[in-house]
Structure 1
Amino acid sequence: MNLRFVEAFYWVASLKSVTRAAEKLFLTQSAMSSRIATLEDELGVLLLDRSDKQFRLTAAGTRFLVFAEKLLALQRDAKTEMGAGTTIAVAMRIGAIESVLHSWLIPWLEKLRGDHPGLELELTVETTPILTDQIQRGTLDLVFAASPANADGVRTYTLPPMDMAFVGNPTLHKKRNYRLDELAEMELLTFQKGSQPHVTLLDLFRQHRLEPKKVHAISSISAMVQLVQGGFGVALLPRIATQRLTGFAKLKLLTSDTQLKSLPIYASYRTDPTSSTVDTLVKSAVEFAGGSISGGAGTKKGARKP
């Protein structure tokens, strides 16, 4: 039995799409379909229900998926045992929100480059909804976002949350401490509408029966920083990102009398029985992020620590 054909079936079943599985394995859709058809001929059963456009495994396909995962895991373990799996030499598609990018992601990637010189990275920086959709569709292998991705074959770790802080221009905001009602009179900048920071900021004012003068929704931290530098307003940003940016940006952390809700961060990734690469990277990210943010380690949601 050709294990490349077994791998093709595994990804078709996991991603629930021949097209997305073909993209994952860098194959044409016709080549992917041919591999599945050849495997079906060898097994003597149909694995995919082709009666309509909706993706479905047959009963035989559902049973064989269990064997496929075991076969691919056995192949991976054999390669590792024989020494063929000691060097990472594959491409990893990683996605992250801007808050992670401007905090610990770049130092972590620099560490990865030193630890695994054979690793080729594809980096995508997007909003949480887009990232979770892409990991669910299989177009990314690992994402760091503000909410977990829920899908078959996707695991999630909870990383240390990021403390949030108001940031202003030091030439304009000179007070040591700002009350929430004073901040409500300023023009405020936060992330896009519907994001956790945007929602929690509005909730914070509602809880104190305050109506903010104006809240601008900006998806880019870089844009918010430039606006704050230009005196446009006060931004709500992750404290760790602000500390990294103060080296080249004119910013000031504003002390407030109100406790701000932290930004949750999750690492979601697709399990891959053919390779331990993603597990190695997730373990590295959990340890690095924990040390960078809080000196602790992330915790796993729904599975063992990698």
Structure 2
Amino acid sequence: MANVKQIETFYWTLKLGTLQGAADKLFITQSAATKRVRELEKQCAHPLFEKNAQKSSLTPKGEELLLAAEAVLESLKGLEDLRSSARRTMRTIRIGITELIALTWFSRFVEHLNSVYPNVSLFPDVDLSARLQQKMLTGELDLIVVPSDYVTGEMESVLVDSVEFSWLAPPGSFSECMPLPLNSLAKLPVIVQGPLSGITTRCQHLFAQAGIAYQTVYGSNSLFALAALIRAGVGASCIPRGLFQKQIENGLFQEVILETGNDRVDYHLAFLKHDHGALGYLLGNLARQCIQQNSEGGYVYDE
């Protein structure tokens, strides 16, 4: 059976006019080129070149083979172009993250991803968890990283971390007598984010379960804006402790320890079932590794 080397030598001999030209093109010797063409002619069981004529003068069988050779080489070129294009193609993943994640481990995650999977590009969307959930369900996002409360039955997920939330108040709001009952905390206005915020929902559930009324101040969807309002003496709020650990240690906030203890919120990388499964688990494990590499659990502000 004829092979590709024989076919391309035959083709370039015809295109360039001489065996030497084909040999130079293919970086082989003229004798090797001659051998290939003779072997091809033997495989065809018919003469390819007219007797007593130049090598470029083909028999009808030779003309037929030339057309077939052109088709084979064109197909091989197309295959190689396809392979090269696949190697160059960037796969863009639409990933939804909350502000907390954008401020903490996401930059390290992207850096690590680029080093391990250079052909994967992330297109982030920073939003509130409830909005990210809806964007996932409507197909606007491929993956989301959200608290477990926002992982629905239509999704699969990978646990990436458990984040500690703490109540912070203006310095001197309470005596050092701790832990504090929830009704004492309710003496201060409670600063929350918008109605779609996980922080707002958790605060509502906490006080509702205890049957305690409290005054709500709608601050901002920005965690740093909430912190600024606490420092301004507006009230208290429940926000990620690790993000403001340095400020707590420096006395800029009073950390309020409740009798019920601090809350921990599990964060999952989620994706729709039967969609992006392998990639979702891969990126989830990669995110968990990035978080674990940080001695503070991954949720310290990346300044």
Gaps of 5+ in 2: 1-82, 299-303
SS at structure 2 position matched to 1:266:
strand
Matches within 5 A, 1:272-291: 277-289=279-291
Q: Is 1:160 the equivalent of 2:158?
A: no
For normalisation by structure 1, the TM-score amounts to 0.56
Letter in 1 for 2:206: L
Distance 1:136 1:214, change over 3 A: closer
CA separation in 1, counterparts of 2:165 and 2:135?
A: 26
Shift of the alpha carbon at 1:188? Answer: 1.2
User: How many corresponding residue pairs?
Assistant: 212
Query: Do the aligned partners of 2:173 and 2:254 also contact (CA within 8 Å) in 1?
Result: no
Distance 1:292 1:192, change over 3 A: farther
Matches within 5 A, 1:17-166: 89-146=90-147, 147-151=150-154, 154-166=155-167
Distance 1:194 1:279, change over 3 A: closer
Q: Deviations over 1:197-245 (max 9, x none)?
A: 3333233334434222335364221210121122221111122333377
Shift of the alpha carbon at 1:122? Answer: 1.6
SS at structure 2 position matched to 1:186:
coil
Distance 1:87 1:226, change over 3 A: farther
The alignment-based identity, stated in percent, is: 18
Q: Is 1:267 the equivalent of 2:292?
A: no
RMSD of equivalent CA atoms: 3.8
SS at structure 1 position matched to 2:151:
coil
1:204 to 184, 206, 209: 206
CA separation in 1, counterparts of 2:115 and 2:252?
A: 32
Shift of the alpha carbon at 1:185? Answer: 0.4
Radius of gyration: which is bigger?
A: 2
Distance 1:132 1:239, change over 3 A: same
Distance 1:280 1:158, change over 3 A: closer
Shift of the alpha carbon at 1:285? Answer: 1.5
Question: What is residue 260 of structure 2 aligned with on the other side?
Answer: 258
Gaps of 5+ in 1: 1-81, 297-306
Distance 1:124 1:254, change over 3 A: same
CA separation in 2, counterparts of 1:84 and 1:282?
A: 28
SS at structure 2 position matched to 1:162:
strand
Shift of the alpha carbon at 1:172? Answer: 5.3
For normalisation by structure 2, the TM-score amounts to 0.56
